[in-house]
């Protein structure tokens, strides 16, 4: 179960520490390594979810795995989270930290669903257009979904720009069913 309020609070505290030490990118890299390990190891993820394993044992396992690979500040933060018995929220905390970092850097994540694969040149052109539209740097994630027939669907936060053929056909169908005039 996601608890975004808790995750946001912990992520904001870690961001304050990382900003003060001017180690935002290093901390983000450390957290990416932890997130990758949690996604890649069912046993590690189950450990974070287990109410039976003591916080001291969990902290020892995390120290063994991560202390040689991540910064001491990040390790102390993970120890703190485990000590507060909030380790099951680590994935959400890491996600929120990433969002806060992007916010600070003026980066917006954009999800694009297209009917066909884009060439690198088309991806660059799309990124440039989206940067003009948002007036921010964009990180574009493109997925292909042939069900949209043609065109694309762009999601920027809560905003959806639907320029898909599927959507246009749905609108046309609705106009026909209403009996209204169709306009080009």
Question: Which pLDDT belongs to residue 183?
Answer: 55
Whether the Cβ atoms of residue 112 and residue 141 lie closer than 8 Å to each other: yes
Answer yes or no: do 83 and 117 share one domain: no
- Total structural domains in the chain? 2
Query: The domain containing residue 144 runs over which residues?
Result: 106-178
For residue 183, is it within any domain?
no
Whether the Cβ atoms of residue 32 and residue 91 lie closer than 8 Å to each other: no
Answer yes or no: do 142 and 82 share one domain: no
Answer yes or no: do 156 and 68 share one domain: no
Answer yes or no: do 98 and 112 share one domain: no
Answer yes or no: do 61 and 141 share one domain: no
Answer yes or no: do 71 and 119 share one domain: no
| CATH for 26 | 1.10.520.20
Whether the Cβ atoms of residue 1 and residue 44 lie closer than 8 Å to each other: no
pLDDT tens across the length of the chain (184 residues): 467 899 999 999 999 999 999 999 999 999 999 999 999 999 999 999 999 999 999 999 999 999 999 999 999 999 999 999 999 999 999 999 999 999 888 888 899 998 889 899 999 998 999 999 988 898 999 999 888 878 888 898 888 888 877 777 777 888 888 875 655 5
For residue 70, is it within any domain?
yes
């Amino acid at each position: 179960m996601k608890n975004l309020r808790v995750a946001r609070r912990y992520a904001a505290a870690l961001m304050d520490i990382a900003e003060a030490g001017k180690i935002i990118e290093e901390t983000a890299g450390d957290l990416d390594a932890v997130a990758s390990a949690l996604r890649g190891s069912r046993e590690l993820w189950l450990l974070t979810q287990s109410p039976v394993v003591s916080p001291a044992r969990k902290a020892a396992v995390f120290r063994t795995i991560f202390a040689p690979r991540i910064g001491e500040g990040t390790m102390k933060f993970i120890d703190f989270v485990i000590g507060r018995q909030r380790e099951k929220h680590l994935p959400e905390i890491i996600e929120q930290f990433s969002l806060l970092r992007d916010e600070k850097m003026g980066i917006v994540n954009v999800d694009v669903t297209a009917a066909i694969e884009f060439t690198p040149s088309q991806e660059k052109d799309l990124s440039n257009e989206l940067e003009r539209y948002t007036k921010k740097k964009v990180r574009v994630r493109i997925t292909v979904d042939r069900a949209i027939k043609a065109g694309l669907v762009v999601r920027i936060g809560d905003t959806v720009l639907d320029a898909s053929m599927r959507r246009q056909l749905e609108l046309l169908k609705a106009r026909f069913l209403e009996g209204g005039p169709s306009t080009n």
